[in-house]
Chains A and B, each alone.
Chain A
């Protein structure tokens, strides 16, 4: 992991996203959120970063927190299908 991190360009949004996802997939949720937040500072319109924080919050059973993040992702990109699906599920809306 430390080897991977050395190669990350802290000014590169895509690389930070990838690092966040790497942490997420390895159940290192605090570290993952820290990376996604860096992405948001760099680009406040990165819907995927909000979506990923939402996934982590949902994994942690923080459903209100997850909803807020999915809503933020959808405010940026209203056609974000995965965010819409997860939000609808949390709210209790059935798919059509």
Chain B
């Protein structure tokens, strides 16, 4: 099977990190920016790094953008450049174009001209941080669809010592526990202590919920808000 090829256009903090993380996963990455210094800095991490103007169709074509399976446009600071680059990449026939947006209008325009996915890292992080500050027992929250979410919840006291079945979590709250995480103490041969994380990926009805367990739960937004109040 031919290796998948990605391109990242715009190598600010977000773009550089996406490019590096993809490269770490052994994926071919073409990294493009119009700043020579930035391109030089990333060149040792990715398959190929190029100085090019993302708004120049010929330059993008010559760079081989059309051969990429996925292109990430992460030009956040200049919406006009981001939109133009997105349009060019789509016109070159790239099937999957992901655009980093800085505002709602930016994302709406990007989608209109063919972006396959838009991301707002700052908005998403802000939402997550606010949720975490308001509900410290919610360690993680991921939107699975419009109405369904996944949360990581520190096991409420009422469930401690109960099995998943006897906790009534499924019947009473209409949510499913899909995994249970817990920290367990360990010690090495030199007597150094540490903790490691154990994850039960297939929790059964007879598995006991222990104090300090973190429950990974899937459910509707309404059902999850009920269990968050326990």
Give chain A's interface residues, CB within 8 Å of chain B: 18, 21, 24-25, 27, 51-52, 55, 58-61, 82
Whether B193 pairs with A21 at a CB distance below 8 angstroms is: yes
Enumerate chain A residues within 8 angstroms of B185, measured Cβ to Cβ. Answer: 24-25, 27, 55, 59
Enumerate chain B residues within 8 angstroms of A51, measured Cβ to Cβ. Answer: 193
Residue from the list B192, B193, B212 in contact with A24, Cβ < 8 A? B193
Question: What are 8 residue pairs bridging A and B, where the CB atoms are less than 8 Å apart in the complex?
Answer: A25-B187, A25-B193, A52-B193, A55-B195, A58-B183, A58-B195, A61-B139, A61-B212
Minimum CB distance partner of A66 in chain B: B195
Which 9 A-B residue pairings sit nearest by Cβ, starting from the closest?
A59-B183, A61-B154, A25-B185, A24-B185, A55-B195, A60-B212, A21-B193, A59-B195, A52-B193
Minimum CB distance partner of A20 in chain B: B193
Whether A59 pairs with B191 at a CB distance below 8 angstroms is: no
Alpha-carbon distance A24/B214, docked complex (angstroms)? 19
Minimum CB distance partner of A61 in chain B: B154
* Smallest beta-carbon distance B43→chain A, Å: 19
* Smallest beta-carbon distance B168→chain A, Å: 23
Chain B interface residue count, CB cutoff 8 Å, equals 15
Alpha-carbon distance A51/B212, docked complex (angstroms)? 19
Given A25-B185, A61-B212, A61-B214: A55 and B193 interface contact (C-beta under 8 Å): yes
- In this assembly, does B37 line the interface, its C-beta being within 8 Å of a C-beta of chain A? no
Whether B212 pairs with A59 at a CB distance below 8 angstroms is: yes
Alpha-carbon distance A21/B186, docked complex (angstroms)? 10
Alpha-carbon distance A35/B18, docked complex (angstroms)? 46
* Smallest beta-carbon distance A27→chain B, Å: 7
Enumerate chain B residues within 8 angstroms of A24, measured Cβ to Cβ. Answer: 185, 193
- In this assembly, does B206 line the interface, its C-beta being within 8 Å of a C-beta of chain A? no
Alpha-carbon distance A27/B185, docked complex (angstroms)? 8
Enumerate chain A residues within 8 angstroms of B212, measured Cβ to Cβ. Answer: 59-61
Enumerate chain A residues within 8 angstroms of B184, measured Cβ to Cβ. Answer: 59
Alpha-carbon distance A58/B214, docked complex (angstroms)? 12
Alpha-carbon distance A27/B139, docked complex (angstroms)? 22
Enumerate chain B residues within 8 angstroms of A18, measured Cβ to Cβ. Answer: 191
- Interface digits, B149-193 against A, CB 8 Å rule (1 contact, 0 not)? 000001000000000000000000000000000011111000111
Q: Which of B184-212 contact A (CB under 8 A)?
A: 184-187, 191-195, 211-212
Minimum CB distance partner of A52 in chain B: B193
- Interface digits, B121-155 against A, CB 8 Å rule (1 contact, 0 not)? 00000000000000000010000000000000010
* Smallest beta-carbon distance A74→chain B, Å: 16
Minimum CB distance partner of A24 in chain B: B185
Alpha-carbon distance A62/B185, docked complex (angstroms)? 15
* Smallest beta-carbon distance A82→chain B, Å: 6
Whether A82 pairs with B154 at a CB distance below 8 angstroms is: no
Enumerate chain A residues within 8 angstroms of B187, measured Cβ to Cβ. Answer: 21, 25
